[in-house]
Amino acid sequence: MLDSCSPLPTNALLRTAYNAVSARIFAGVKAGNAFDDLRPAHGNAMEQLELEDGLRLTEMAARAGITVQSMGELVDDLEAKGYLERRPDPKDRRAKRIHLTKRGRKNARIAKQATADVEDHLAELLGQQRYQQLRHCLQQIIASDARDDEPDAAG
């Protein structure tokens, strides 16, 4: 009913495609896990800890590009649900190190797998070559924008 009236701007295509892909990943997590007390926003925190356990809140917030307070909320939530725990940093008594629990590690592994599965799905759907080209185009768009924002973001 919607898409037959006018060509959608690329903008809208990106948004819709993102929603579709995200939903698919999220469904994969739930299917492999039945943990339906987690929401997409939690994924960011979980992923980071899987890559590097024992991070500080500040560090996690910086990596995710959100405020310390926002990340604090996510971590509160995840802690209450048993996915991770705060432990005092022995070397800095201001800080707390955030660690995955066993339950959290299991979930993180499943999430990673679900993401990988969806990547495979996309590669099959589009074919390897188009899939890689899609990724390349997206990266180009992102890079072009970053260049506009901060012309001397030396990396």
Per-residue burial over 19-36, b = 16 or more CB atoms within 10 Å of its CB, e = otherwise: eeeeebbbebbeebbebe
Q: Is 95 in the site for DNA (CB under 7 A)?
A: yes
52 CB-near residues (< 8 Å, 6+ apart) = none
According to CB under 7 A, which one of 58, 132, 133, 139 is a site residue for DNA?
58
What the block records as the tokens of 73 is 């909320």
C-alpha dist (Å) from residue 57 to 61, 66, 94, 97: 6, 11, 11, 8
Measured from the CB atom, the residue of 15 and 87 that comes closer to its own copies is: 15
According to CB under 8 A, which one of 23, 31, 41, 68 is a site residue for its own copies?
23
* Chain positions contacting its own copies, by CB under 8 A: 1-2, 4-6, 9-11, 13-18, 20-25, 51, 62-63, 65, 115, 118-119, 122, 125-126, 130-131, 133-135, 137-142, 144-146, 148, 155
Residues contributing to the site for DNA (CB under 7 A): 39-42, 56-59, 65-70, 72-75, 86, 89, 92-97
